[in-house]
Amino acid sequence: GVIIKALSGYYYVKPLGEDGAPIDSESSVQCRGRGVFKNRGISPLVGDRVKYVLTENGEGTVTEVLQRETELIRPPMANARLAVLVFSLKEPEMNVQLLDKFLVHIEQAGLTAIICLTKSDLVDEKSEQKYKEIIELYKKIGYEVIRTSSKEGLGFNELKEHLAGEISVFSGQSGVGKSSLLNAMMPGLALETNEISMKLGRGKHTTRHVELIPLDNGGFVADTPGFSQLDFLEIGVEELGDCFREFREYSGGCKFRGCTHTHEPGCEVIRAKIDGLIAESRYQHYVQFLEEMKDKKRRY
Ligand code: GDP
Ligand code: ZN
């Protein structure tokens, strides 16, 4: 099975069939972990594929954690391969700097990013051109970009195709439309959205723990409460350039090894920027993040 939730010492394991897809008709089994994991320094994570045995009263015991494909620290989860970065085009306006920051973390974690732009229906003609250019920019770098509207039913079949059979994390600021999108993709899901919580006169219930939601196509998604504390502590200064995908094409040609692409002579990244092959906005964010990293590392 796969651990879809971990809470108060229990692991909730969704049974998987021979093909690795969840068995829809079987609900999750509440399992205890065996003490043996702690001794070996393995702590089962949401997303882990595990072996378990059934014990009395319908509960179970996790006996083995299978090899992980990926491991994320924030949110703590295993085996995610896709990260859906959700940004709204309006309300709130898209924050391209934050997108680049997410992308750095995704590249470092080795996940595949899908950029999902929500609330397409709210975009006026004036902003349309600006967004077209942004979309083109990220597509050119090699990212999948999908525009959606939960109001108009746009884009979710396309998105859903990507999620089939995968464990995905949905990340984005509160209010960008993550819950609305997941609800629209999965009739019957009924996650609480902001609109509903407003009506009920309270802020949206935000979960602190990670939980996987099974889709009807063999995929699972984790609706994470946004990477709010995105810091760069786990990334080395010399790694940052490689987390900007399109830089890699040029950085091999830099004259100096360990070139930071800021002031060095013979820097091919700077040259590519001047030639218009690397977008000004991406380069600027790179320099900003580099400063931020150096600052943080000085302070800690
Ligand atoms: P979350 O915090 O990211 O889960 O965002 P919600 O799904 O709760 O949505 C926040 C607000 O945006 C709600 O008032 C939604 O009705 C609204 N919203 C979400 N998606 C769309 C959309 O595609 N179009 C429009 N016009 N509004 C949307
Ligand atoms: Zn360089």
pTM to 2 decimal places: 0.91
Neighbours of ion ligand 2 (CB under 5 A): 254, 259, 261, 267, 269
Distance from residue 262's CA to the centre of ligand 2 (Å): 7
Sign of the alpha-carbon torsion through 117, 122, 127, 128: positive
Range with lowest mean pLDDT among 19-33, 53-67, 181-195 = 181-195
CB neighbours of residue 143 within 10 Å: 18
204, 194 in Cβ contact below 8 A? yes
Enumerate residues lining ligand 1, CB below 6 A. Answer: 118-119, 121-122, 149-151, 172, 174-180, 193-195
* Tokens coding 211: 């939980």
Res 209 pLDDT > 90: no
* Tokens coding 276: 């218009």
Strand-pairing partners, residue 226, are none
Return the percentage of the chain with pLDDT > 70, whole number: 89
Distance from residue 130's CA to the centre of ligand 1 (Å): 22
Strand-pairing partners, residue 41, are none
How far from chain centre, in Å, is Cα 203? 23
Res 230 pLDDT > 60: no
The residue whose CB lies within 8 Å of the most ligand 1 atoms, and thus the one to mutate among 150, 189, 200, is: 150
Phi, psi of 172 (to 5 degrees): 165, 160
> Which atom of ligand 1 approaches the CA of 149 most closely?
23
